[in-house]
Structure 1
Amino acid sequence: MGLPFRSTLHPRVFWGSTFIVLIFLLIGIIFPKDAALIFEQLQDWVIKSFGWFYILAVALFFFAVVYLALSRYGNLKLGPDDSEPDYPYLTWMAMLFAAGMGIGLMFFAVAEPLQHFSAPPSGLASTTTSAHQAQIITFFHWGVHAWAVYAVVGLSLAYFCFRYNLPLTIRSGLYPLFGKRIEGWIGDSVDIFAVCGTLFGIATSMGLGVLQINAGLEYLFGWPQETWLQITLIIGVTALATLSVISGLDVGIRRLSELNLLVAVCLMLFVLTVGPTSFLMNAFVQNIGGYLDNFFARSFSTQAFREQTWMKAWTLFYWAWWIAWSPFVGMFIARISRGRTVREFVLGVLLVPTVFTFFWMTVFGNTAIFLDMGVAAGQLAQDAANNASVALFEFFEYLPWPGVTSALAVLLVTIFFITSADSGSLVIDTLAAGGVEDAPVWQRIYWCTLEGVAAALLLLAGGLTALQTVTLVSALPFAVIVFLLILGLFKGMKADMSRMRRQSPMSGPAPGSEVSWRHRLSTILHTPNRRDARRFMGATVIPALQAVADELGKRNLNVSLETSDQDTAQLTIQADNQRNFVYGVELRARRVASFTAAAARNEQAHPQEWQIRTVFADGSRGYDLMGLSSSQVINDILNHFERYQALVTSEATALYAQSPDPT
């Protein structure tokens, strides 16, 4: 008998998001001649009606995450209070650095500064003033505003997944606002918009990538820049991404990505070395100064008193693209950030990729402008204006070994293309499966294929305009969701800070369960082994938990007690529209300090003591229960349950704040 067809998909999210994606794609299929006009009109309507909203939203996202980092909330951990980071600091920063690389940097590094230089939003074109302004605008588009959007989504995912033990989905960030209602249509809608936004964001990147691959192939081999060839390239690269999904080459893809990053950095250093090195270093410093000087004005600029054509083509497209991409990048940076403080997370995410991006844009962009004002005599800017996808390859013509650098650029974009499609399908599948990360391969293949189909059909239906339109439209509802994620973060963090203020330091049991000095002395002189801990668990702790569970059950509460071979036990009280109350205990070994009396009597090189430590779902720091009486354990449980009741509802919290501290 064969294995049954396995599925982990969330039906409403899976089919709901598929339906919305198909609506956009059917426009291109059913109305092929009118599709470009339809998409252009839809884009104009979104810009005129909601352009201000995109500008205001991204600015507020930035200020919100900076406040979280610099305020008292910055000390909270992404995980339990005593959790440690999964990765060393330098490794974590390197992974954030890698997250900043992608097709966009390859596509726009030369094209965007040149286009702002030759066609600035204000002032004279092709002057030293427009050259400086071009880099300020480019920095603005690729700077901290983009990473602030990623930081909000990533912080929400990490905080509520690692600290509240909720699924790794966008809906989990709304738990403080809606409670268990996120398991209904509210949560389904949120995840549907997240899936659609991510899919169209990835499709846009794939569309830009294939345009640049086609331009590189024309330069290297004379292949025509035709839509049919671009569609063929999408099919080929999507097939390679699908093969990586089927074969499970996670290690290979990861190593390929690391190699890709190394080659990209080498390419940047090559341009820095053979280009005007001294000028570039001076320009880098001045660009940062200009960026900071114009930061607030540009953050809120909507060009309300002039035609918004430039805003539509640049800033608003970027802001929508970053919002659409935020679940993708946010999930990556959340996964690597467990154990970091909120302050470390925000400052790391905002600064590490941004500094690298600024240097990358300076090296390529300022070198291109330098060449255009010199030996190229305006030709580079004209090529970028005519076709942005060829700008990088025309740029390499003015540097040594253009054939080699162009081939490397095509290879880099192709690998970015493959890895984005592969990892993007994993992120979308996780969202569409309710946070399940080990979904069957066929589901990832489905989303990988749909990404390729979306990119191909949108190129057919209107090229870059169609890609920009679906990005703008799909990002609109998700921008509202990001605002809700911020409110959820503030509410969740405020509740955790309130709980921490009302609790005494958790270096030992809660008030009411203190141990006598004789027991403390006994603990110092005796090192419990695993047998001692298991015996105490079975004789004292589990009976105490069972007694509380039985009494709560008599009072018609939905309570459960789960145990595992006297190694772990967890008391759970199910709550409607709120997070459950959890009081857990587990056996845990701890190395004894070498200077203690217990270690002095122990001949082992690294003596250990076994503890029975408490575990809480809200991130509270655990402590040892060894040596307490049954009544003291019960008293400790009731202390936590009392605090829980006071914090889960706003009415109880208000009353609790007005009453004397019960501790």
Structure 2
Amino acid sequence: MPTEPREPDSSAAADSPDPAAQAPLPRHIERSRFGGTERRHTRADEDEAPATRSELSRGSQELRAQQPTARISWSVLLVASVIILAFSLWAIATPSLARASMKQAVDWIATNLGWFYVLTMTLVIGFVVWVALSKEGNVRLGPDQSRPQYGLATWVAMLFAAGVGIDLLFFSVTGPIVQYLHPPSGTGASAAALQDAVVWTMFHYGIAGWSVYALLGMAMGYFAYRWGMPLSIRAALYPLLGRRMRGPVGDGISTIALVGTVFGVATSMGIGVVLLSVGFARLFGLPDGLALQIALVAGAVLITVAATTSGVDKGIRLISELNLWSAVAMMLYILVAGETAFLLNALVENVGRFLVTLPSRMFQTFAYQGGDGAEWMGSWTLFFWAFWLAWGPFVGVFLARISRGRTLREFVIAAITVPVLCDFIIVSLFGNSALFQVLQGNTEFAQLAIDSPERGWYALLELFPGATFLIGLATLSGLLFYITSANSGAMVMSNFSAHIPDPAQDGPKWLRIFWAILTAVLTVAMLLAGGVVTMEYATLIFALPVTAIAYLVMASFHKVLRMERAEREGQVLRRASIAPSGGHLPERSWKQRMEQLVTFPSRREVTQFLQRTVRPALDDVAAEFRRQGYEVERSDDASVNGVQGPLLRVSMEALRAFLYQVAIVEAPVPTFSGRMSRDTDVYCRLEVFTQTGSGGYDLMGLTRQQVIDDVLERYEAHLAFLTFSTQTDTASVLTPPLQPRPPAQE
């Protein structure tokens, strides 16, 4: 960029047909003579949050500036570890006091802040559905040309296994029985209570939790894979807080997310070992109790360490698929061996009632039930909402890691439908099987399920034919649920406590081992302090600060999606002739068009064309930009977002840089072509890439002047986007309006 502001060239502006060039610019934008270049004054305060998408492009450099390579975030690691270790020692040393104190805190939250949890989850659901249905739903978690890393079946299995814990099995029996015999309102053991018994558990395991996962997952994945930022909460909040995310503010937010994650995972692990200890005792004749539970925690840590250090592609992927198939086998066995007709009828009715009553349940706070309503809310709905919020950051990171290349719409719809439907099937089959026994007069089983949910779950399995086989299968499935959650949890905890510039990398292996051990210590501490009930209390308390992160992420992501819309609409305003794929079509003669239709060049031919025509054209444009005083990067073999090829980048100070890159892309030869090659079924194209991906058109066959014209067309479209995004951006409390920089003193 020129070091001094240029005066507008009135004659050039008068002759220009460009509507963007003729439009008045905001007062903090200046135009130079070359192609209507726009320039923003730099901020007096560099810590201000980015006010436009252009400034957002600084995030990749700013968030990586202090950590070009992976390193430990010692402040986050130490503070979070001290909090967790102090709580663990307190719970171990004074279990009765810890349990009583947490109970008092939970009662206060349920009475005074229940509405806040309810409102938060309702807004999260509405936000993710809005993203999926909006025009920005087509935006990918990565450049426009990126495609998914995993196949659909594997991806769905990993979605399901990562976000579903063994607690689902734990509550699938006790939940419906409790809601039938002791409903939140009305008379227990009534027809109305029976109709809602399973639906309440489906509600708690339904769309709300997966909406939290979708929100945090798509936000972190978007900034990591589309903008090249670290895969972290820090990056997701960069549009609101700017460079502050590099300092104490970012450390504080990461610490909150990390502590909430550890308590969420520890709660799941605690519920898991309580359930699995009963299964191991029944299968192997071991004495059930705290000693066996602690032994299972230790054994699970060893398995988790071994699986986690093998990485996503090996350990977690294999366990996720095995987990899904074992759960499917268990559900089929229960369906076939149990009351098949009753279970299928009940499943259909449960799903239908869930859909019809979902809006009213989302806003249900039981304000008119007094203390009983608050107590029920704290024990059930608020606990689950806090549970999902605590799990949100860690599941979100894991989902983002496996979803690169997916569109926002695909990501959200898959997350809130496929795993939710699997949850519904598990809850309905187990819950209705349990209710069938209660309706037959098995009151002893009902009381056992209420007093000791883990024993009630296995007591239900013993009522089926082939009980030993079913108990073994169910224990295996529960163990895989547990290992998957603990495995991915340890990996994500290490990521939260480290600065990792590359989203494809994970934290150091020793750090994952450290978090696996510390989470196990916390699990044992809560088992000593009162078991599952104490875990519920701790989750509800420590998840409260995480709700603030959910609101910040929604505000941040909403802002950046408006920037995506500004870019798209700015390009449309600049040029009406858009290719079907979204790219601009360079003007060609009829002979050039005919030649492109009937020839399919090889890699050698396009490489020669690249050398003889495209590179000299880019050199000419770069030379003219430099002559005009701009800072230009010109490389013949650059790599940007995984794309390799000649690059032209024009820096624009605080604005988003203009990028024009040409890469060789293989494409299949059309089978209907009359000149199909006999030697190969692919040919090569020269596609143009910008910061958001491929333009979708081919430069092959153009003249040197036509390539130059295409670069300038792209550049003018970039200027139109800068103007449009500035005119449509709105300041907020966290992003104050940009003020013009005062003139320099002589």
Q: Which residue of 1 aligns with 2:536?
A: 468
Partner of 1:443: 511
Alignment match, 2:165: 102
Where does 1:321-360 land on structure 2 (aligned, <5 Å)? Answer: 321-360=387-426
Alpha-carbon offset, residue 387 of structure 1? 1.3
Structure 1 counterpart of 2:560: 492
Q: Deviations over 1:177-201 (max 9, x none)?
A: 3445544444433333222222221
Per the TM alignment, residue 536 of structure 1 is displaced from its structure 2 partner at its CA by 4.2
Local SS of the residue matching 1:370: helix
Q: SS of the residue aligned with 2:71? A: coil
Preserved contact between residue 180 and residue 189 of structure 2 (Cα < 8 Å): yes
Give a deviation string over 1:604-633, Cα, whole Å, max 9, x none. Answer: 24251x333222233463433342436325
CA gap of 1:287–1:614, structure 2 versus 1, over 3 A, is: same
TM-superposed deviation, 1:266: 1.8
Work out whether 1:362 is the aligned partner of 2:428: yes
Match of 2:114 in 1: 51
Output the amino acid matched with 1:642.
L
CA separation in 1, counterparts of 2:537 and 2:631?
49
Taking structure 2 as the reference length, what is the TM-score of the superposition? 0.78
Partner of 2:450: 385
C-alpha separation in 1, matches of 2:417 and 2:341? 24
Q: Distance in 2 between matches of 1:15 and 1:552?
A: 50
Q: List per-residue Cα deviations over 1:338-379 (Å, max 9, x = no partner).
A: 444333332222121222221211111111111022152x11
- Give the match's secondary structure for 1:126: coil
Q: 1:606 to 1:652 in 2, by over 3 A?
A: same
Partner of 1:267: 330
Q: 1:607 to 1:51 in 2, by over 3 A?
A: closer
Quick check: 199-208 or 390-399, which moved more? Answer: 390-399
Q: From the superposition, tell whether residues 512 and 113 of structure 1 become closer, same or farther in structure 2 (CA, over 3 Å).
A: closer
Deviation of 1:388 after TM superposition, in Å, equals 1.5
Report the Cα distance in structure 2 between the residues aligned to 1:26 and 1:576, rounded to whole angstroms.
52
CA-CA distance at 1:449 after TM superposition: 1.6
Answering whether residue 666 of structure 2 is matched by residue 589 of structure 1, we say yes
The structural deviation recorded for 1:312 is: 0.6
- Residue aligning to 1:415: 480
CA distance in 2, matches of 1:139, 1:340: 27
Match of 1:502 in 2: 570
Q: Percent identity?
A: 37
Per-residue deviation, 1:100: 5.7
Structure number with higher helix proportion: 1
Partner of 1:320: 386
Does 2:718 correspond to 1:646? no
Offset, 1:215: 2.4
With over 3 angstroms needed to count, the CA separation of the structure-2 counterparts of 1:419 and 1:576, relative to structure 1, is farther
- Return closer, same or farther for 1:650/1:11 CA change in 2, 3 Å cut-off: farther
Q: 1:201-240 CA deviation, whole Å, 9 max, x = no partner? A: 1111000001112222344455444334322321221122
1:415-434 mapped onto 2 (5 Å cutoff): 415-434=480-499
Post-superposition offset of 1:321: 0.6
Q: How does 1:606-645 map to 2 (within 5 A)?
A: 606-608=681-683, 610-619=684-693, 621-626=695-700, 627=702, 628-629=704-705, 631-645=708-722
Counterpart of 1:606 in structure 2: which amino acid? D
Number of positions where the alignment pairs a residue of Structure 1 with one of Structure 2: 645
2:299 counterpart residue number: 236
Q: What's the counterpart of residue 679 of structure 2? A: 604
CA–CA separation in structure 2 for the residues paired with 1:284 and 1:651 = 48
CA distance in 2, matches of 1:509, 1:56: 39
**Which segment is superposed worse, 390-399 or 499-508?**
499-508
2: CA distance, partners of 1:252 / 1:344: 25
Q: How far apart, in 1, do the equivalents of 2:255 and 2:628 lie?
A: 39
Per-residue Cα deviation, 1:527-573 (whole angstroms, up to 9, x for no partner):
44434433444455445556666776788877644542895134456
Counterparts in 2 of 1:640 and 1:576: CA distance versus 1, 3 Å? same
Q: Name the CA shift for 1:513/1:280 in 2 (closer, same or farther; >3 Å).
A: closer
Q: Taking structure 1 as reference, are residues 530 and 250 closer, same or farther at Cα in structure 2, changes over 3 Å only?
A: closer
Bigger drift between 246-255 and 156-165 goes to 246-255
| CA distance in structure 1 between the partners assigned to 2:608 and 2:84 by the alignment | 58
Contact 2:117 2:382 in 1 (8 A): yes
> Is the Cα–Cα contact under 8 Å of residues 688 and 694 in structure 2 kept in the other structure?
no
User: Partner of 1:455 in structure 2?
Assistant: 523
Tell me the SS of whatever aligns to 2:687. Answer: strand
| The one of 190, 199, 209 aligned to 1:127 | 190
**1:556-571 maps to which residues of 2 (within 5 A)?**
560-564=633-637, 568-571=645-648
Counterparts of residues 569-584 of structure 1 (less than 5 Å):
569-572=646-649, 581-584=658-661
| Alpha-carbon distance change, 16 to 645 in structure 1, aligned in 2, over 3 angstroms | farther
- Mean CA deviation greater in 519-528 or 491-500: 519-528
- Taking a change above 3 Å as real, the CA distance of residues 431 and 586 of structure 1, as seen in their structure-2 partners, is farther
Q: 1:326 to 1:545 in 2, by over 3 A?
A: farther
Worse overlay, 466-475 or 575-584: 575-584
User: CA RMSD, aligned part only?
Assistant: 3.3
Give the gaps of 5 or more residues in structure 1: 1-5, 655-663
Q: 1:512 to 1:605 in 2, by over 3 A?
A: closer
Give unpaired runs (5+ residues) of structure 2. Answer: 1-68, 732-746
1:397 is matched with: 462
Q: In the alignment, does 2:548 pair up with 1:480?
A: yes
Deviations, residues 26-63 of structure 1 (Å, cap 9, x unaligned): 43256455222232233233333422111101011111
Partner of 1:3: none
